[in-house]
Structure 1
Amino acid sequence: VDVEDVEMMDVVKSDDCCVDKELVKVLVEEIGFSPELAQQGLKNGGNTLEGAVEWIAQHQDNDNNSNNNDNAVVEVAQSYNCNECGKVLSNMANLELHANKTGHSDFAESTDQVKSLTKEEKAAKILEIKALLKTKRQERLLKEKESAKLEEKQRRFMGKEMSVTREEMERNERKHAVAKKKREKEAYRNERERIRAELAKDKAERIANKGKLTSKLSINGYKPDAIQYNTNLTTTNTNNNNNNNNNNNDTAEQENTPKKKIPDVAKIDEYIQKVSSYRAGGDGAKCLKILLAYIRNVVDHPDESKYKTINTENKAYKLRVRPFIGAKTLLLAVGFQLEENKMTLGPDSDIHILKQTKDKLEAAYNAYST
Structure 2
Amino acid sequence: MATSDLDQLVMMGFDKERSEMALKKSGGLADAIDWLDTNSSKTLEELKAEEAAAAEAKAAQAADEAKSLVCNECGKKFRGTAQAEFHATKSGHTDFSESTEEVAPLTEEERQAKLAQLREKLAAKRAVQAEQDKIDQKRNEQINRKKTKETEDLKEQLRMKEQIKEAEKKKREKQAEIDAKKRIQAKIAADKEERRLKAEREKAARAGTAPPVAAQPPPAPAPAAARPASEYKETRLRLQTSGGNIMKTFPVDTTLFEVAAAVGEEIGRDVESFAQNFPRKVFGQEFFGESLKDLKLVPSASLIVK
TM range (shorter): 0.3 to 0.5
* The structure with more radius of gyration: 2
Q: TM-score, normalised by structure 2?
A: 0.36
Higher strand share: 2
